[in-house]
């Protein structure tokens, strides 16, 4: 036992010094943090303020577009201010809980200023002042010397260098580039397409409203403009045809409440919410982590054995420890490395989620709740350990019969191929977690950890859960027993790797 510990300790200490280990430790938390932070950061900083020029020769649509863009902006402001309030106010008793206003209420009640006043009393001491987000799209007047009432074609020609970025516009003393130009012709009314009127086809290709922009990827402004214009045009159409616009609007907002229910949940709580969807998909992330962890650790094991074998250190070791002790030492040492890695990932995951978690509706906090309320972590630990041991057995046997890393890599390829299956099925399994594919794969021990992890939140039948676990344990013990047999003979062999038949013969010894 002492020798096993000594070998294990060296394995642990030496591997903990490698760059790969630390890369592994930090990469996953960085990825987790990144996947939460980057979209937020991108949304805030990534898209600079876009300047657009609006030429409305019909002189009726510009205010509608402006109102729409302002409303979108206020929506963002409201979302931000709600987050701010949630973070920096003292949660009062349930009775006095703040109910965030609807967008219409927010705008009509005076926006940021009055809302902040309303919550002022509740703000924690030392809370930073609220910083309203910038409006993404800012209108700019046409460059000096251009008249909005000239021919549209001329305007386009004059604007072209600005839109290409060759020339800049001056806005409030700053030189900015023009991101888009929206040109609405005077006779827009005539160009409106009405469904029964097939003559519209003849005008196909002729554009009524022109949206000029070099940026094709970001269609947000285009969409906003298009929707606002069409909403306005439809509103006018209702009036034209003598319909009650208000009534129509009311009709448009009628709906039948619809709910997804889960029969497996307790009565009264059957409602499927977004947390449930997170629960269904969270295991996929764990499958991926499991795969990465096992693969990384098993690679480490292979490199170590090959190093000892190709350097012939093995002989000195075997004059001090038995092959069994050496093997167990390696197995445990590397397992400890793996557990350290996985453990730090879990800590980081919880740490980052708790740090980033905002209100109850926040995705981050829902993920956190899903993790805390389930046995995902427990399953992950068990499956990591068993999966590692099973694959380690294969690797130990493989490593012991190969002389160089190159030789081992070619065999490792086969193992890698086998390991790819759970990655490929990872996204199918949650859609049908108790289907035939999932069930069949669950019963193949080398896939059990991944597939069962994948099915974890879908309440797999107890028979599957226990049965596959027992089979996995039996297979792991068997594999380790065989690995030990191969290891004690293979480790001293030099020259050609033995044939499979030969290795099978070793098992009988």
Partner 1 sequence: MTMNNQHLANDAPLEVQGVTKLFGDFRAVDDVSFSLPAGAIYGFLGPNGAGKTTTIRMILEIIKPTSGSISVLGHSSALAVRQRIGYLPEEKGLYKKMKCWAVIAYFATLKGLSRKAAKQRAFELLERYGLKDFATKPTEALSKGMGQKVQMLASIAHDPEFVILDEPFSGLDPVNQQVMEEIIRDMAKRNRTVLFSTHVMQHAERLCDRILLLAKGRKIFDGTVAEAKRIIPRRVRIETEDDITPLRELKEVVSIRPVDTISGGITAPTVAHWELEVRENTDPQAILQSCFARGIRLHSFNQSDPTLHEVFMRLVGPDAKEAAFR
Q: Please report, as ranges, the residues that interact with partner 1 according to CB under 8 A.
A: 3, 6-7, 10, 14, 17-18, 307-308, 310-313, 315-322, 492
The DSSP line for 210-221 is EEEES--S--HH
Half-sphere exposure of 229 (CA within 13 A, CB side): 23
Residue with tokens 């402004």: 221
- Smallest gap, in angstroms, from Cβ of residue 326 to partner 1? 10
- Smallest gap, in angstroms, from Cβ of residue 403 to partner 1? 11
The phi, psi pair for 426, rounded to 5°, reads: -50, -40
Cβ nearer to partner 1, comparing 19 with 190: 19
CB 278 within 8 A of CB 457: no
In angstroms, how far is CA 296 from the centroid of its own chain?
Answer: 22
The burial of 408, by beta-carbon neighbours within 10 Å (0-12 exposed, 13-18 middle, 19 or more buried), is given as buried
The DSSP line for 349-413 is HHHHHHHH--STT-HHHHHHHHHHHSSHHHHHHHHHHHHHHHHHHHHHHHHHH-SSHHHHHHHHH
Cβ nearer to partner 1, comparing 304 with 454: 304
Give the separation between CA 290 and CA 64, rounded to whole angstroms. 53
The phi, psi pair for 402, rounded to 5°, reads: -100, 150
- Smallest gap, in angstroms, from Cβ of residue 28 to partner 1? 24
CB 178 within 8 A of CB 54: no
- Smallest gap, in angstroms, from Cβ of residue 504 to partner 1? 17
- Smallest gap, in angstroms, from Cβ of residue 1 to partner 1? 13
- Smallest gap, in angstroms, from Cβ of residue 9 to partner 1? 9
Cβ nearer to partner 1, comparing 187 with 315: 315
Cβ nearer to partner 1, comparing 179 with 304: 304
Closest C-alpha among 21, 107, 27 to residue 68: 107
Cβ nearer to partner 1, comparing 64 with 492: 492
- Smallest gap, in angstroms, from Cβ of residue 30 to partner 1? 25
Cβ nearer to partner 1, comparing 13 with 90: 13
Cβ nearer to partner 1, comparing 317 with 457: 317
CA distances from 78 to 36, 83, 309 (A): 21, 9, 65
Cβ nearer to partner 1, comparing 14 with 362: 14
CA distances from 406 to 312, 410, 413 (A): 16, 7, 11
CA distances from 312 to 162, 237, 318, 319 (A): 71, 88, 10, 12
CB 448 within 8 A of CB 471: yes
Half-sphere exposure of 201 (CA within 13 A, CB side): 4
- Smallest gap, in angstroms, from Cβ of residue 408 to partner 1? 17
Cβ nearer to partner 1, comparing 3 with 281: 3
- Smallest gap, in angstroms, from Cβ of residue 2 to partner 1? 9
Half-sphere exposure of 110 (CA within 13 A, CB side): 6
CB 491 within 8 A of CB 323: yes
Give the separation between CA 455 and CA 434, rounded to whole angstroms. 7
Residue with tokens 């109910």: 99
- Smallest gap, in angstroms, from Cβ of residue 316 to partner 1? 6
- Smallest gap, in angstroms, from Cβ of residue 481 to partner 1? 20
| DSSP-based three-state secondary structure for 109 | coil
Cβ nearer to partner 1, comparing 2 with 241: 2
Cβ nearer to partner 1, comparing 311 with 361: 311
Give the separation between CA 495 and CA 120, rounded to whole angstroms. 79
Cβ nearer to partner 1, comparing 32 with 486: 486
- Smallest gap, in angstroms, from Cβ of residue 16 to partner 1? 12
Which helix H or strand E contains 436, and what residues bound it? helix 436-442
């Amino acid at each position: 036992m002492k020798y096993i510990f000594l070998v294990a300790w060296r394995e642990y200490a030496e591997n903990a010094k490698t760059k790969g280990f630390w890369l592994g430790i930090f990469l996953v938390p960085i990825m987790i943090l990144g996947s939460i932070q980057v979209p937020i950061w991108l949304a805030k900083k990534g898209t600079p303020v876009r300047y657009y020029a609006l030429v409305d020769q019909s002189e009726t649509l510009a205010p509608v577009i402006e109102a729409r863009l302002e409303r979108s902006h206020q929506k963002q402001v409201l979302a931000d201010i709600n987050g701010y309030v949630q973070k920096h106010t003292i949660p009062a008793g349930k009775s006095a809980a703040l109910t965030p206003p609807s967008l219409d209420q927010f705008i009509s009640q005076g926006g940021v200023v009055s809302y902040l006043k309303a919550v002022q009393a509740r703000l924690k001491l030392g809370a930073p002042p609220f910083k309203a987000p910038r409006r993404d799209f800012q209108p700019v007047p046409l460059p000096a010397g251009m008249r909005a009432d000239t021919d549209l074609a001329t305007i386009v020609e004059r604007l072209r260098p600005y839109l290409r970025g060759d020339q800049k516009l001056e806005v409030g003393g700053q030189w900015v580039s023009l991101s888009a130009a929206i040109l609405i012709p005077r006779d827009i009314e005539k160009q409106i397409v009405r469904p029964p009127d097939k003559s519209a086809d003849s005008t196909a290709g002729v554009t009524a409203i022109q949206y000029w922009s070099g940026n094709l990827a970001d269609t947000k402004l285009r969409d906003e403009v298009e929707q606002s214009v069409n909403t306005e045009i439809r509103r006018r159409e209702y009036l034209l045809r003598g319909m009650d616009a208000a009534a129509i609007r009311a009709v448009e907002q009628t709906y039948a409440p619809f709910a997804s229910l889960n029969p497996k949940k307790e009565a009264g709580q059957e409602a499927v919410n977004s947390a449930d969807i997170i629960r269904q998909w969270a295991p996929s992330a764990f499958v991926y982590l499991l795969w990465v962890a096992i693969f990384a650790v098993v690679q480490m094991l292979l490199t170590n054995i090959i190093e000892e074998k190709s350097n012939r250190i093995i002989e000195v070791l075997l004059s001090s420890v038995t092959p069994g002790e050496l093997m167990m030492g390696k197995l445990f040492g590397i397992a400890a490395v793996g557990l350290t890695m996985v453990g730090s990932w879990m800590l980081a995951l919880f740490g980052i989620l708790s740090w980033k978690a905002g209100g109850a509706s926040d995705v981050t906090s829902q993920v956190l709740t899903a993790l805390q309320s389930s046995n995902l972590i427990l399953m992950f630990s068990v499956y990591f350990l068993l999966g590692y041991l099973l694959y380690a057995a294969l690797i130990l046997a493989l490593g012991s019969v190969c002389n160089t890393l190159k030789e081992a890599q070619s065999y490792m390829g086969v193992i890698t191929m086998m390991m790819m299956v759970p990655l490929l099925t990872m996204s199918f399994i949650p859609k049908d977690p108790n289907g035939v594919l999932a069930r069949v794969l669950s019963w193949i021990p080398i896939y059990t950890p991944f597939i069962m992890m994948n099915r974890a939140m879908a309440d797999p039948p107890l028979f599957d859960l226990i049965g596959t676990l027992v089979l996995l344990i039996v297979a792991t013990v068997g594999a380790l027993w065989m690995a030990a047999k191969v290891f004690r003979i293979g480790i001293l062999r030099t020259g050609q790797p033995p044939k499979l038949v030969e290795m099978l013969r070793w098992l009988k010894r």
